[in-house]
Amino acid sequence: MAPIRLRHPKGVSTLNISLDSDSYTVKDLQQEISSVSGILPNRQSLKCGYPPRVLTLDFPELPISSLGLASGEQLIVSETAEDSGIARVKPPSSSTTSSSSPFLNPVGQAPAASSQTTRSPPRAAPAPAPAVSASSGGPDAVETEGSFLVHRVVPDDNSCLFSSVALIFEQDMSKAPSMRKIVAEGIRKDPETYNEAILGMPPQQYIAKIQQPSAWGGAIELGILAAHYNAEIASIDVETGRVDQFAPGADRTAENRCIILYSGIHYDAATLAPMADAPAEWHQTLFPTRNANVLAAGKKLADILRAKRKFTNTATFDLKCEQCGVGLKGEKGAQAHAKETGHTRFGEY
- Rounded (10°) CA dihedral 188, 192, 198, 202: 50
Q: Rounded to the nearest 5°, which phi and psi values hold at 233? A: -110, 115
* E strand spans, 197-332: 232-237, 243-246, 256-262, 267-273, 287-288, 318-321, 327-329
Nearest Cα to Cα of residue 345 among 104, 106, 103: 106
- As annotated, the active-site residues are 157, 160, 266, 343
Residues 266 and 261: their CA atoms lie apart, in Å, by 8
Angle in degrees, CA 123, 139, 295, rounded to 5:
35
Nearest Cα to Cα of residue 178 among 211, 154, 214, 207: 211
Residue 123 pairs in a beta bridge with: none
